[in-house]
């Protein structure tokens, strides 16, 4: 099977070694007999058609770079929405998934319009980062997930979180984390989450193959 | 009242320091306890006449050691935080212990290494005359967030009256100088520069002012080089102190076209550290000839580079920083620049000695692919994170036969004992102890 992966903003939404996710997923798909091609689209691209790809990925960036990405991605929000509605497999990690909601209020009080795929809202601050190792569970997998969260935001009104945290730093007031709707997955876990969690990597790989078949 | 307060604070700090030393405690505790009792004490003391501070991601301790060496050689009356306690507590210890009981500094110059994130607290009352910023890299992101987050912290520490001394080759650092009093140091095009940034990521890809794609005339390493933004005109500024020539093979560098320094260990970061020391010496009024003399052949005391012998193996320990890919990239550069066949041992056993984290995402930012070099014959991967290392190496093109994956430092050392190639050991402060202990014992 021929699989096309789109890695969005890989040149700056790459703060915590996120490309590792794409490398390991490519390997997992290849091990299952697929041929994988990875494409990159970034801020200098004026055309993105999400329908062309079988999997769409975006990683974490600084808050200012996230704004930079959001302002660009807004031009393609209809295409992204159609891909989501059609059940395309999409994974956004770190602060990138926060772009998918209604709005983001930045630390300086500006309210940015989100991509409006979902109803949640995000509020950032610049005083304290919420960081720490976490463990999480989800009904999708038999094993617990491990990872690291590194953020300065609060997300409100997520209808269907991806994970329930089973271990977290004391400073985290939230128990539920991320988002899952159809085949879209968002998690605040930064870095190579698929590297640290082979079961999750395998789950995504199988979903991509099933979806394409 | 103020006099009594200062008297009590200085006496208290010195007493605690005395007993803390006896108990083998560090230089941070006395200041910490003093600040508990006298929170604003730094406001009430008379600090040295001239204060030079150094902050940034990498090279702070080495740079401060070099500056201190040059200033001491020139006979300057100097106090500095040589134990590397670089937050407000350590600085408080240093300044109060250097004070008379009336709170007046004994030394004429204070040289302060300052943690990037806490500089704003330290410099609230102790305002540096000159603040050096060495660079801003991805460093300990599990607690620092990211370089722009650290940038904002340093920015809060800069107040009027401070002259900034900035690395002109680092675009983000340069922007501190916008509309402020700033001097710059940097390197001209050097023989080993590159036209492209071939490291894993490029934090200089977009202009820090306007976000447009930037161009580079050359890269010294990673995103350090000569950049310009075609859209807004932001570019590498003119430098007052400049490496005009450097040869890593001949182990020397030339500053401002005429001052040549011989290096005892040849690496690009040692070149930058020496440049900063030269600039600081200039600012402190040391003659260029005297600075060159003091810097030439100076062997670093801070133990970043150490030779070792273990069984058949001989080699060099390159202390690098976990959670800091530039530091690892530099060490890898040393390995691949070696003209002889070599082996490499990489240890990730404990990520930090100061806090606990299991995050290994930083391994993906290190350019391990470069170890796929003709002269690298064997690579040992060891420590409790050996699986993370193994997966990371699995996406490189390095021949699997070259890799020896070892689940502990001990099992790696048992193999290393018979290594015939000169061996570079790359690891962090947090892990070097375990390695050195086994070396000292001579057996596993």
Q: What is the pLDDT of residues B100-131, one digit of tens each?
A: 999 999 999 999 999 999 999 999 999 999 99
Q: For residue B19, what is the enclosing H or E element?
A: helix B2-22
Neighbours of B264 (CB within 10 A): 13
Taking 80 as the threshold, does the pLDDT of residue B231 lie above it?
A: yes
Q: What average pLDDT does the segment B37-64 reach?
A: 95
Structure tokens at B205: 């890809």
Taking 70 as the threshold, does the pLDDT of residue B303 lie above it?
A: no
Question: From the candidates A9, A16, A38, A69, which should be mutated to test the interface with B, based on the most B CB atoms within 10 A?
Answer: A16
How far apart CA B418 and CA B306 sit, in angstroms, is 20
Q: A-chain residues within 8 Å CB-CB of B141?
A: 15-16, 150
Q: How far apart, in Å, are the Cα atoms of B265 and each of B135, B202, B271, B295, B304?
A: 21, 27, 9, 12, 11
Domain A2-126+179-212 adopts which CATH fold?
Rossmann fold (3.40.50)
pLDDT at site B429: 86
Q: How far apart, in Å, are the Cα atoms of B338 and each of B91, B112, B379?
A: 40, 35, 15
Q: Which of B149, B201, B392 sits opposite A129 (nearest CB)?
A: B149
- List A41's β-bridge partners, or say none: A8
Residue of B nearest to A190 (CA): B361
Q: Does B358 sit within 8 Å of A146, measured CB to CB?
A: yes
Tokens 């273990």 belong to residue: B310
Taking 90 as the threshold, does the pLDDT of residue B440 lie above it?
A: yes
Tokens 């704004």 belong to residue: A67
- A-B C-beta contacts closer than 8 Å: 80
Q: Which of B143, B205, B363 sits opposite A17 (nearest CB)?
A: B363
The fraction of chain B above a pLDDT of 70, given in percent, is 100
Tokens 């879209």 belong to residue: A184
Structure tokens at B130: 């000159």
Q: Does B211 sit within 8 Å of A133, measured CB to CB?
A: no
Task: Give the 3-state secondary structure of residue B114.
Answer: coil
The fraction of chain A above a pLDDT of 90, given in percent, is 100
pLDDT at site B308: 96
- List B429's β-bridge partners, or say none: none
Contact B122, B114 (CB under 8 A): yes
A163-167 and A130-137 strand pairing: antiparallel
Structure tokens at B200: 């894993």
N residues, chain A: 213
Q: What average pLDDT does the segment B208-217 reach?
A: 96
User: CB contact, 8 Å: B25 with chain A?
Assistant: no
Considering the domain B305-441, what is its CATH architecture? Alpha-Beta Complex (3.90)
Selection from B325, B323, B379 nearest residue B356 by Cα: B323
Q: What average pLDDT does the segment A161-189 reach?
A: 95
Taking 90 as the threshold, does the pLDDT of residue B138 lie above it?
A: yes
Q: What average pLDDT does the segment B160-166 reach?
A: 97
N residues, chain B: 444
A23 CA: distance to closest CA in chain B (Å):
7
pLDDT at site B208: 96
DSSP-assigned letter for residue B214: P
B2-295: in CATH 3.40.50.1820: no
pLDDT at site A175: 93
Taking 90 as the threshold, does the pLDDT of residue B200 lie above it?
A: yes
Q: How far apart, in Å, are the Cα atoms of B133 and each of B86, B183, B199?
A: 14, 11, 23
Neighbours of B300 (CB within 10 A): 16
Buried b (16+ CB within 10 A) or exposed e, B323-349: bbbbbbbbbbbbbbeeeeebbbbbbbb
Q: Does B362 sit within 8 Å of A195, measured CB to CB?
A: no
**Chain A residues in contact with chain B using a Cβ-Cβ cutoff of 8 Å:** 11-12, 14-20, 23-24, 27, 43-44, 62-65, 68, 126, 129, 131-133, 146, 148, 150, 152, 190-192, 195-196
User: How would DSSP label each residue in B167-181?
Assistant: ETTSHHHHGGGTTS-
How far apart CA B357 and CA B162 sit, in angstroms, is 36
How far apart CA B236 and CA B239 sit, in angstroms, is 9
Contact B332, B426 (CB under 8 A): yes
pLDDT at site B177: 97
Residue of A nearest to B390 (CA): A195
Starting at the edge strand found earlier in the chain, the sheet holding A184-187 runs A35-41, A2-8, A55-58, A89-93, A184-187, A179-181
Question: From the candidates A13, A20, A45, which should be mutated to test the interface with B, based on the most B CB atoms within 10 A?
Answer: A20
Selection from B360, B404, B367 nearest residue B382 by Cα: B404
Q: What is the pLDDT of residues B19-49, one digit of tens each?
A: 999 988 888 999 999 999 999 999 999 999 9
Q: What average pLDDT does the segment B238-264 reach?
A: 95
Sorted by sequence, the CB contacts under 8 Å of residue B13 that are 6+ apart come out as B30, B31, B33, B34, B92, B93, B96, B97
Which stretch of A156-170, B299-313, B428-442 has the lowest confidence by average pLDDT? B299-313
Task: Give the 3-state secondary structure of residue B118.
Answer: coil
Q: What is the pLDDT of residues A77-114, one digit of tens each?
A: 999 999 999 999 999 999 999 999 999 999 999 999 99
Q: What is the pLDDT of residues B269-290, one digit of tens each?
A: 899 999 999 999 999 999 999 9
Taking 70 as the threshold, does the pLDDT of residue B141 lie above it?
A: yes
Domain ranges of chain A: 2-126+179-212
Q: What is the pLDDT of residues A113-127, one digit of tens each?
A: 999 999 999 999 999
Contact A36, A3 (CB under 8 A): yes
User: How would DSSP label each residue in B295-309?
Assistant: HTTPPPSS-SEEEEE
Q: Could you give the angle at which helices B60-73 and B268-283 cross, rounded to 10 degrees?
A: 50
- List B247's β-bridge partners, or say none: B252
pLDDT at site B312: 94
pLDDT at site B373: 97
Q: Does A15 sit within 8 Å of B148, measured CB to CB?
A: no
Q: A-chain residues within 8 Å CB-CB of B149?
A: 62, 126, 129, 152
Q: Which of A12, A17, A43 sits opposite B361 (nearest CB)?
A: A17
Q: How far apart, in Å, are the Cα atoms of B436 and each of B13, B197, B332, B410, B444?
A: 34, 35, 20, 11, 11
Any alpha helices (H) in A35-165, and if so which ranges?
63-73, 77-85
Q: What is the pLDDT of residues A65-83, one digit of tens each?
A: 999 999 999 999 999 999 9
Q: Please report how many Cα atoms fall inside a 13 Å half-sphere around the Cα of residue A175, on the Cβ side.
A: 2
Selection from B185, B244, B236, B191 nearest residue B209 by Cα: B236
Domain ranges of chain B: 2-295, 305-441
Selection from A97, A89, A117 nearest residue A184 by Cα: A89
pLDDT at site B232: 97
Taking 80 as the threshold, does the pLDDT of residue B135 lie above it?
A: yes
- List A167's β-bridge partners, or say none: A135
Q: Does A24 sit within 8 Å of B391, measured CB to CB?
A: yes
Any alpha helices (H) in B53-201, and if so which ranges?
60-73, 88-97, 119-122, 141-144, 147-157, 171-174
Q: How far apart, in Å, are the Cα atoms of A22 and each of A18, A27, A42, B91, B203?
A: 8, 9, 16, 45, 20
How far apart CA B388 and CA A100 sit, in angstroms, is 31
Structure tokens at A60: 């974490």
pLDDT at site B26: 84
Tokens 């200089």 belong to residue: B204
Q: What is the pLDDT of residues B331-383, one digit of tens each?
A: 999 999 999 999 999 999 999 888 889 999 999 999 999 999 999 999 999 99
User: How would DSSP label each residue in B384-437?
Assistant: TTHHHHHHHHHTS---GGGEEEESSHHHHHHHHTT--SEEEEEE-HHHHHHHHH
pLDDT at site B304: 78
Taking 80 as the threshold, does the pLDDT of residue B302 lie above it?
A: no
- Round the average pLDDT of chain B to a whole number and report it: 95
What is the ipTM metric for this complex?
0.96
pLDDT at site B82: 85
Q: Which burial class, exposed, middle or buried, applies to A59 when counting CB atoms under 10 A from its CB (0-12, 13-18, 19+)?
A: buried
Q: Which burial class, exposed, middle or buried, applies to B110 when counting CB atoms under 10 A from its CB (0-12, 13-18, 19+)?
A: buried
């Amino acid at each position: 099977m021929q699989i096309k992966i789109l890695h969005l903003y890989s040149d700056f939404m790459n703060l915590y070694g996120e490309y590792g996710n794409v490398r390991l997923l490519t390997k997992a798909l290849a091990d299952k007999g697929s041929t994988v091609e990875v494409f990159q689209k970034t801020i200098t691209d004026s055309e993105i058609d999400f329908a062309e790809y079988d999997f769409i990925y975006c990683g974490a960036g600084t808050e200012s770079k996230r704004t930079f990405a959001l302002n660009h991605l807004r031009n393609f929000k209809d295409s992204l929405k159609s891909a989501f509605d059609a059940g395309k497999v999409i994974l956004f990690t770190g602060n990138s998934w926060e772009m998918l909601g209604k709005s983001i209020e930045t630390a300086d009080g500006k309210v940015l319009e989100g991509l409006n795929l979902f109803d949640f809202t995000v509020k950032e601050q610049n005083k304290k980062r919420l960081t720490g190792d976490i463990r999480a569970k989800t009904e999708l997998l038999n094993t617990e997930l491990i990872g690291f969260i590194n953020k300065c935001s609060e997300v409100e009104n997520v209808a269907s979180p991806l994970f329930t945290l089973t271990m977290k730093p004391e400073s985290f007031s939230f128990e539920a984390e991320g988002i899952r709707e159809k085949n879209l997955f968002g998690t605040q876990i930064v870095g190579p989450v698929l590297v640290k969690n082979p079961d999750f990597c395998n789950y995504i790989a199988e979903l991509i193959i099933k979806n394409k078949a | 009242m103020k006099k009594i307060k200062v008297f009590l604070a200085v006496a208290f700090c010195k007493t605690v320091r005395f007993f803390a030393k006896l108990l083998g405690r560090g230089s941070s505790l006395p200041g910490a306890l003093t600040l508990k009792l006298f929170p604003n004490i730094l406001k009430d003391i008379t600090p040295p006449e001239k204060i030079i501070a150094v902050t940034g991601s990498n090279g702070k301790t080495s740079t401060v050691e070099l500056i201190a060496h040059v200033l001491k050689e020139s006979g300057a009356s100097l106090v500095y935080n040589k134990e590397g306690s670089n937050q407000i507590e350590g600085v408080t210890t240093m300044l109060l212990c250097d004070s008379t009981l009336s709170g007046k500094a004994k030394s004429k110059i204070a040289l302060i290494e300052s943690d990037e994130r806490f500089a704003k607290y330290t410099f609230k009352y102790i305002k540096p005359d000159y603040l050096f910023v060495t660079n801003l890299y991805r460093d300990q992101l599990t607690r620092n967030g990211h370089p722009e987050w650290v940038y904002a912290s340093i920015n809060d520490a800069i107040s009027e009256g401070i002259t900034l001394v900035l690395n002109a080759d680092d675009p983000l650092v340069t922007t501190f100088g916008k509309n402020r009093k700033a001097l710059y140091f940097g390197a001209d095009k050097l023989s080993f520069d590159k036209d492209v940034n071939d490291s894993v990521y490029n934090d200089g890809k977009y202009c820090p002012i306007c976000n447009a794609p930037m161009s580079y005339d050359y890269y010294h390493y990673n995103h350090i080089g000569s950049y310009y933004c075609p859209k807004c005109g932001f570019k590498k500024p003119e430098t007052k102190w400049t490496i005009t020539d450097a040869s890593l093979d001949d182990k020397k560098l030339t500053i401002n076209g005429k001052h040549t320094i011989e290096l005892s260990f040849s690496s690009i970061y040692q070149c930058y550290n020496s440049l900063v020391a030269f600039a600081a010496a200039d600012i402190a009024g040391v003659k260029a000839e005297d600075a060159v003399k003091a810097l030439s052949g100076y062997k670093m005391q801070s133990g970043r580079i150490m030779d070792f012998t273990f069984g058949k193996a001989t080699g060099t320990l390159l202390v690098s920083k976990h959670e800091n890919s530039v530091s690892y990239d530099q060490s890898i550069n040393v390995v691949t620049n070696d003209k002889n066949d070599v082996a490499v041992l990489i240890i990730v056993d404990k990520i930090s000695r100061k806090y606990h984290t299991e995050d290994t995402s930083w391994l993906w930012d290190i350019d391990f692919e470069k170890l796929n070099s003709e002269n690298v014959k064997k690579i040992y991967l060891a420590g409790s994170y050996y699986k993370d290392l193994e997966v990371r190496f699995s996406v490189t093109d390095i021949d699997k036969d070259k890799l020896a994956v070892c689940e502990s430092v001990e099992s790696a050392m048992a193999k290393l004992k018979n290594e015939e190639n000169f061996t570079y050991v790359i690891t962090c402060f947090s892990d070097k102890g375990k390695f050195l202990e086994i070396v000292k014992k001579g057996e596993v």
